[in-house]
Amino acid sequence: MAAIDVVPVSGLASFLAFCRTPRLLYSGHPGFAPSLDAERWTLYAHRLNPHFKQVTSQSWLARRNGKLVGRIAAQIYNPEITPLGASRAQFGSLDTVEDPEVVAALTAAAEAWLRERGAALVHGPFSPSVNSETGLLVQGFDAVPMMFMPWHPPYLARLLEECGYVKARDLISYRYRPTAADVRDSGLASRPEWRDRLKIRPLRLKDIRGEAAVLTEIFNDAWSGNWGYVPLTVDELVSTADALRYVMPEDFGMVFELDGASAAFAIAVPNLHEMTGDLNGRLFPFGLRLIGRIRKGQFKTARMALFGIRKQFQRSSTGGAIILGLIDRMRHLHRIYDLEQIEFGWVLEDNVAMRRPIELGGAKVDKIHRIYEKQLAASAAIAKEPAASSAGADSNTLVRGSV
């Protein structure tokens, strides 16, 4: 069999090939839906995604007989940034054909690059960060594909584990399919103790830069105790929101204000995969067609992509009221847009405080994505690596790719 050529991504042609690799490899697989090329460019281009200011990174493509057969990326966070409980050395964007030699060659290239920089422990996949698309799909291969959630074929987890990778954490996504009994509001807005105190307003997408500072503050306060946490920057939030405002109805973003001060926020996104299937990854020249479909509400599924609630309100009656208000808003979206399914995700497997109300509300596990880890033999470890899988989880949920 011909040798596998693993080459660094360098230059525009290889960058474009890196972005469209999943579409080329997985097209036609049940459960897979291709992302728009333009959206992938904004995710992976160093000049467009502020995440890359925080890391040193490298990506690779694998070819056999000149044919593209896989890709991978690796990164190390800058010395001042340490993910909570996880390694600063990470891999991501692993997509390959069903061939153990390809997976072995790609992971070997990433591991060698990380070892050269002193890494002793690697976690992933983060594609490219915990605040983007996270984990490798291990359950729910034929579930409804959702925006900003990575899809992988069933064989990939097995091949990665054959290379010495083991589970670090599982990330749970839920499907919620409203029934006729679910459409009624809780009555929270009319209760005397909350009527004048708790307000829910739309997120001002047209003034996202004005909103960004407080939203970033809430997010970082909410997530600061969660495994893998890396602070979200204002630039990252603005970059994501600038793109979302063209494809997200205004009432899909919401800010929860308690006694006039921002206490939580949530962002849902319509499932664009329903409306882009005939575009084959190309936004141009079909952008106006997509925007028209969104404005006409031509989607039946959506995803709760981001929810953050300040720590002081978590595990309290006030936090419970905010979550109840969120559920009411999701029921409102169900009524207005006639949604058939809403996805909540992801949630860390040990985040019982968030998983319990989701499950009590009738949601069912839909997908599981896994974070893997591997010990690397290195002459000098970077900084001081944390013990694997050591941190707990607080009561909030990220859905991102992400957002």
As a whole number, the mean pLDDT across the chain is: 87
Number of neighbours of residue 379 by Cβ within 10 angstroms: 8
Whole-number pLDDT of residue 286:
56
**Residue 185: per-residue pLDDT:** 72
Average pLDDT of 238-250?
A: 81
Identify the pLDDT of residue 285. Answer: 58
Residue 341 lies in domain = 180-366
One-letter amino acid at 175 equals R
- Please indicate, yes or no, if residue 401 is contained in any of the structural domains: no
Confidence of residue 17 (pLDDT cuts 50, 70, 90): very high
Kindly state the average pLDDT of the residues 77-91.
97
Query: Please, where are the H alpha helices in 245-316?
Result: 273-276, 287-295
Q: What pLDDT shows up at residue 402?
A: 29
CA-to-CA distance for 12 and 19, rounded, in angstroms? Answer: 11
pLDDT score of 242: 78
> 330-388, pLDDT tens digit by residue?
888 888 888 999 999 899 999 888 888 888 878 899 999 999 999 997 544 564 555 44
Look at residue 290 and tell me whether its pLDDT is greater than 70: no
Least confident segment among 24-38, 153-167, 267-281, 303-317: 267-281
Q: pLDDT band for position 324 (50/70/90)?
A: confident
Which of 23-32, 89-98, 108-117, 313-322 is predicted least confidently?
Answer: 313-322
Question: Are 143 and 187 contained in the same domain?
Answer: no
Q: Are residues 257 and 146 in the same domain?
A: no
Tokens of 245: 């405002």
Residue 210: in which H helix or E strand, if any? helix 208-223
Same domain, 144 and 186: no
Q: State how beta strands 67-77 and 126-127 pair.
A: unpaired
**Backbone conformation region of residue 10, classed left if phi is above 0, alpha if psi is from -120 to 50, else beta:** beta
Q: Residue 343 falls within a domain, yes or no?
A: yes
| One domain, residues 233 and 382 | no
**Interval 162-206: pLDDT, tens:** 999 999 999 999 999 877 666 667 778 778 888 889 999 999 888
Q: Kindly state the DSSP code that residue 2 receives in the 8-state scheme.
A: P
Kindly give, in sequence order, each residue whose CB lies less than 8 Å from that of residue 66, ignoring residues fewer than 6 positions away: none
Specify whether 193 is located in the same domain as 152: no
Specify the higher pLDDT residue, 207 or 390.
Answer: 207
Same domain, residue pair 327 and 362: yes
pLDDT band of 394, cuts 50, 70, 90? very low
Domains identified in the chain, total number: 2
113: CATH = 3.40.630.30
| pLDDT at position 144 over 90 | yes
Same domain for 332 and 227: yes
Does any domain span residue 175? no
Indicate the pTM of the whole model: 0.90
CA distance 202 to 302: 17
Asked if 358 and 376 sit in the same domain, the reply is: no
**Cα 358 to Cα 377: distance, rounded to the nearest angstrom:** 41
Judge contact between 393 and 348, C-beta under 8 A. yes
Strand spans (E) along 89-212 = 89-96, 121-124, 126-127, 133-134, 136-139, 166-176, 198-202
Q: Quick one: DSSP state of residue 145?
A: P
Identify whether 396 is part of a domain.
no
Same domain membership, residue 166 and residue 227: no
Please give the radius of gyration of the chain, using alpha carbons only, rounded to the nearest integer: 21
Report in angstroms the alpha-carbon separations of 56 from 38, 117, 129, 388: 23, 10, 12, 22
Same domain, 307 and 373: no
Residue 124 vs residues 76, 79, 127: alpha-carbon distances, Å: 12, 19, 8
Q: Indicate if the pLDDT at residue 396 is higher than 50.
A: no
Q: Where are the beta strands (DSSP E) in 154-197?
A: 166-176
Both 71 and 219 in one domain: the answer is: no
Mean pLDDT of 240-253: 82
**Cα distance between residue 191 and residue 207, in whole Å:** 31
- The pLDDT confidence band at residue 274, using thresholds 50, 70 and 90, is confident
Residue 391 lies in a domain: no
- Does the residue 161 lie in any domain? yes
Give dist(CA 118, CA 269) in Å, integer: 39
Residue 66 domain-assigned (yes or no): yes
Distance between CA atoms of residues 177 and 70, nearest Å: 35
Q: What percent of the chain has pLDDT over 90?
A: 61
Torsion of CA 160, 165, 170, 172, to 10 degrees: -10
Phi-psi region for residue 85, left (φ > 0), alpha (ψ -120 to 50) or beta? Answer: left
pLDDT band for 391, please (50, 70, 90 cuts). Answer: very low
Residues 350 and 209 in one domain: yes
Q: Is residue 314 part of a domain?
A: yes
| Between 104 and 246, the higher pLDDT residue | 104
At 252, the pLDDT band (50, 70, 90 cuts) reads very high
pLDDT band of residue 306 (cuts 50, 70, 90) is confident
